[in-house]
Amino acid sequence: MIERISTAYYRLPLEPSGDAGHGSLDTEELVTVELAAEGLVGHGYAYTIGRGGRAVRALIDHDLAPLLVGQEAGDVDALWERMWRGLLYVGRGGLAAFAIAALDIALWDLRGLREGKPLVALAGGTARPIPAYGSGVDLPKPLDGLLRQVEGFLARGYPGVKVKIGREDFEEDVERVAAVRRLVGDGIDLMIDANMGWSLGQALERGGRLAEQNPYWLEEPIIPEDVPGHARLARELPMPIAIGESLHSPREFERYIAERALGVLQIDPVTNGGITPTLRVLEMANQASLPTSSHYTDELSAHLLCASTNPIYLEKHAFALDRYLERPQVVTDGKVRPTDDPGTGLRFDREALRPYAAD
Ligand SMILES: [Mg+2]
């Protein structure tokens, strides 16, 4: 039985950075959850890119924890439904998805501890290495800074790199992507990410021009509500369209898949509403034979992508939480593996987090 749920809130400083959709970024918010049941403690978390974290924590403390305390911890699917239903009126996505996710991640961790199995096994996957790509949040960086960052990714052995696009002057995007392609050569995969900064018309025209640099995918070209627009881009542009980090439930993914509006499905077990819905989404991707990748959540995604039949890349994010973890994720030959310990294997280093604790 779930006996106790506690939360903490941190404001983690980021090197000032930004992208075309979310503007300037200098803070990551982290909400951690500890969920105690029968002598074990499951750990979970949610993050934001600077706003909304306190509301996520309040939803957990005031609205979701009372729905879980006193319940049996074992049936995670049923508990996820209970939380989703409990916030239905103010939910079906948005902040509610983040709050539910933090608890759902803790419930999966707890289940792993109880059963003595790593998350990858609970997810029905076979542990195996997944290629990782170096991912920058670099839109404001001058060109030489951008190239230095990419050189750093190459030095770490990543077989792919991603850069942000969506500068106010599109000619700068063209110049920057071409310069990165010249730097990395043809043997490295080059992803580009517009973070929803374009209109559909811009995406059609600009995506067509950037296709000259043979990008591996074009990520979040336009707002996520425009599924038909994504379907048109998927039909008319030569590179695959990647999306997922801004979708907050399996239903949203379902529409994208039904309308053939994406070419690479990206999971994020925090923004997608938890591990429970992410596994449903991966099952849909398998049914549709869609390649998968991940957004942020490097440690959890190393487990979950093993449940995909075609996991092409894990995103090794510039903001990765590694420096705040007891055991940072290991990258070997440009690949990552899920951890072997029971549960998620993710434990925060409270000493490293302590200076950033906030109310
Ligand atoms: Mg992105």
Spacing, Cα 163 to ligand 1 middle (Å): 10
> How long, in residues, is the chain?
359
2-116+350-356: which CATH number, 3.40.50.261, 3.30.390.10, 3.40.1350.10, 3.30.70.1090?
3.30.390.10
Spacing, Cα 90 to ligand 1 middle (Å): 26
Q: Terminal CA-to-CA distance of the chain, rounded, Å?
A: 29
Question: Rounded to whole angstroms, how far apart are CA atoms 246 and 194?
Answer: 13
The CA distances from residue 285 to 83, 120, 221, in Å, are: 24, 17, 20
Question: Rounded to whole angstroms, how far apart are CA atoms 215 and 192?
Answer: 7
The CATH class that applies to domain 121-336 reads alpha beta
Q: What single-letter amino acid sits at 179?
A: A
Spacing, Cα 209 to ligand 1 middle (Å): 20
Tokens of 192: 């580009």
Q: pLDDT tens per residue, the chain (359 residues)?
A: 999 999 999 999 998 888 888 888 889 999 999 999 999 999 999 999 999 999 999 999 999 999 999 999 999 999 999 999 999 999 999 999 999 999 999 999 999 999 999 999 999 999 999 999 999 888 999 999 999 999 999 999 999 999 999 999 999 999 999 999 999 999 999 999 999 999 999 999 999 999 999 999 999 999 999 999 999 999 999 999 999 999 999 999 999 999 999 999 999 999 999 999 999 999 999 999 999 999 999 999 999 999 999 999 999 987 779 999 999 999 999 999 999 999 999 999 999 999 999 99
Give me the sign of the Cα torsion angle 106, 110, 116, 117: negative
Domain spans, the chain: 2-116+350-356, 121-336
Spacing, Cα 191 to ligand 1 middle (Å): 10
Active site residues: 164, 295
Query: Which residues, 6+ apart, have CB-to-CB distance to 339 below 8 Å?
Result: 118, 299, 302, 303, 327, 345, 346
